[in-house]
Structure 1
């Protein structure tokens, strides 16, 4: 079992995404981040919701989705450099005559990693416009291994099963208020079954399809307990320092992972990034 003795400070931004208006979202986020860091210390990882520049507009062909990440990636890299941390959130990116829902990780040194959303939201016909990702990825920040997920991925425990290859799971979402109970429940379930810290980042407000979102952005420990949760229907940045020595001690006392079933994922590439 990996020895973990470090901490990681994580911040998550819950906000009302302006529909189809990237520039307004860049300006809004820049202000929220500036105000937060004027009163708080630095973080290692700053997380934004799914499709943070436009809202969940998968069927809009008139919305630009540059293959290179365009202005969205440039903005992420700039904020990462300015605040000396990893800044991460998902955007729609052109790919193979469709799009991918790409969860970018921009590092302060200019390096960029990404994970493409694997599970596409059938109820919203995401599969008609978006191509599913094929790689389950693990990113590393300061020695802490992190599994990135996007929204609907949360419903699929096999994809997120901890093979003792990560210490923290993060999920960024546009999860509707109508199914908020499921979001709250599954975040805790994933933390408990995988003996991992979990951060879930959701938006608030009503989008251009008249779908309401109430938030539920939370940082959860490996026992499924909320360390901090944003207020419902409010724009807010929450943060917590995660102590991975506590996770190590817990797993030594309760090593349920030793009794886990062996399995393999078909048609999936396993990728790790070390930073």
Structure 2
């Protein structure tokens, strides 16, 4: 258990539907991380880009990427998270994997599939949120379009860190910036968003804007280029501001149906 969690946000281009190539590039980036890193966050669909052709890249939970994540996590003594395409019982999921240094895996299936791109017609949706506990931190990881739905991201479990992995394109990047900050403020938690950069197979441009916001919405890290960003959220600040402001005591009670 520790008060700070040093987090690395890998903002990178993705090679279209080439998992082996993307894993190779990401392994090099991860191997070059600062030695005291605790958690590495990769973009949404980090092995393929945001593809609507799941049959070309889909894996199962014992596939090559899952094996790769376990190996890299163990070698570097870090936790790794990001989403990939998973095929399970004949269905496809945009699934976030959270891999611990000891190889333990937890996962979250994207709840809000992106209808504008037809993701809802290709991928099944998740029904449950995930809150992982890592080094004394409660972390709620979500995926891209989930960012637009504050009820789904509401801090009902008193988590410390809200985390979004994404392929968020340039035309709507202003919304990404606003919503990441809003999710931090309304939930009195740290909020991390990791986006990709570059152009995908469909000609969509991705400008990065990966960022970290503290419990008051103050920006701790931000970038618009290919690079790895670092941030060290501090649990003492969460405790201080939640005790001082107590906004979460007044949150509405609700249940997901």
Distance 2:27 2:38 in 1: 17
Q: Is the contact made by 1:138 and 1:165 (CA closer than 8 Å) also made in structure 2? A: no
Query: Does 1:64 find its partner at 2:64?
Result: no
**Shift of the alpha carbon at 1:33?**
2.0
Q: Secondary structure at the match of 1:82?
A: helix
Query: Does 1:247 find its partner at 2:247?
Result: no
**Shift of the alpha carbon at 1:198?**
0.5
- The answer for the alignment partner of 1:259 in structure 2 is 250
Q: Is the contact made by 1:147 and 1:166 (CA closer than 8 Å) also made in structure 2? A: yes
**Shift of the alpha carbon at 1:95?**
2.6
- The answer for the alignment partner of 1:271 in structure 2 is none
Correspondence list, 1:77-226, <5 A: 77-226=70-219
Q: Is the contact made by 1:46 and 1:86 (CA closer than 8 Å) also made in structure 2? A: yes
Query: Does 1:48 find its partner at 2:42?
Result: yes
Higher RCO (C-alpha under 8 Å, 6+ residues apart): 1
Distance 2:202 2:13 in 1: 14
**Shift of the alpha carbon at 1:242?**
1.1
Task: Map Cα deviations across residues 155-204 of structure 1 (whole Å, 9 max, x no partner).
Answer: 00000101143110000000011100000000000000000001100000
**Paired residue total:** 257
Q: State which drifts further: 241-250 or 181-190.
A: 241-250
Distance 1:7 1:32 in 2: 22
Query: Does 1:33 find its partner at 2:30?
Result: yes
**Shift of the alpha carbon at 1:69?**
4.8
* CA distance 1:96–1:83, change in 2 (3 Å): same
- The answer for the alignment partner of 1:273 in structure 2 is none
Report the RMSD for the aligned CA atoms in angstroms: 1.3
**Shift of the alpha carbon at 1:5?**
6.9
Q: Choose the corresponding residue for 2:8, options 7, 11, 14.
A: 11
Q: Is the contact made by 2:2 and 2:136 (CA closer than 8 Å) also made in structure 1? A: no
Q: Secondary structure at the match of 2:37?
A: coil
Q: State the TM-score, normalizing by the size of structure 1.
A: 0.90
Distance 1:60 1:264 in 2: 32
**Shift of the alpha carbon at 1:131?**
0.3
**Shift of the alpha carbon at 1:17?**
0.4
Q: Is the contact made by 1:200 and 1:219 (CA closer than 8 Å) also made in structure 2? A: yes
Distance 2:4 2:204 in 1: 37
Distance 1:75 1:117 in 2: 22
Q: Secondary structure at the match of 1:137?
A: coil
Unaligned runs of 5+ in 2: none
Distance 1:12 1:89 in 2: 10
Q: Secondary structure at the match of 1:136?
A: coil
